[in-house]
Structure formats: C-alpha cells, structure tokens
Amino acid sequence: MAIEVRIPTILRSYTGGAKAVEGSGTTLDELLNNLDAAHGGLRERLVDGEKLRRFVNVYLNDEDVRFLGGLETPVKDGDTVTVLPAVAGGAR
C-alpha cells in the first residue's frame, strides 16, 4: 500500500497527465520529497523554502494540513493527500 496523491489539472504536466500518483513517507515533507524523485519539479510548486506555498491547499484525507502540522503532518499508507490551488484574488 502507498499514499495516494491527487493532482490538480494545472500540475498534471508534472505527472504525465495523471490525476493521481502514489508515494511514500512518514510525514508530508518526506512524501513530497519522494514524489519529487519521480515527478521532478512538483515539490517546488507546492513548497517555498521550508513552508507550503500560501496559495496551494494541501489536504490530508478531509483536513487542510495547515490545521494539522503543515509539512510535518504525519502520513501513513492508505491516506489520501489532495492538492488544490487556492481560488483567490480581489480588487487589490
């Protein structure tokens, strides 16, 4: 078993068009490093330095990882991680 990661349309160029890919790790940080080995450049779109980018939402199962522990959030086999670009903007 592995961890399923669901990829939004705009990042599927990194996954050869795949809607979901699989990876492994014990924390989100490890998982993203693991994914980056197979899908080079993906991590950089999600992480800026040591933190998740502000306008990318990453969910572990149903919860936004910002409310769990960010990159340090523990993950395990059978979990689903979903990536969605935040929908945001405004007059200023």
Partner 1 sequence: MLTIARSLYEKIIEHARKDHPDEACGVIAGPIGSDTPTRFIPMQNAERSPTFYRFDSREQLMVWREMDDNDEEPVVIYHSHTATQAYPSRTDISYASEPQAHYVLVSTRDESETEFRSYRIADGEVTEEPVSISQLSPGGRPPYPRNDPPPIRVPSKA
List the one residue out of 73, 82, 92, 84 whose CA is nearest residue 25: 73
Gyration radius of the chain's alpha carbons? 13
59 touches partner 1 (CB under 8 A): yes
Map the footprint of partner 1 across residues 7-26, applying CB under 8 A.
8-10
Q: Least Å distance between CB 54 and partner 1?
A: 10
Tokens of 70: 């960010």
86 touches partner 1 (CB under 8 A): yes
62 touches partner 1 (CB under 8 A): yes
Query: How far is 28 from 70, CA to CA, in rounded Å?
Result: 8
DSSP states along 18-62: -SEEEE--SBHHHHHHHHHHHSTTHHHHHEETTEE-TTEEEEETT
70 touches partner 1 (CB under 8 A): no
Q: Least Å distance between CB 89 and partner 1?
A: 4
Stretch of residues binding partner 1 (CB under 8 A), selected from 22-30, 35-43, 71-79, 83-91: 83-91
Our CB check for partner 1 shows the closer of 37 and 46 to be: 46
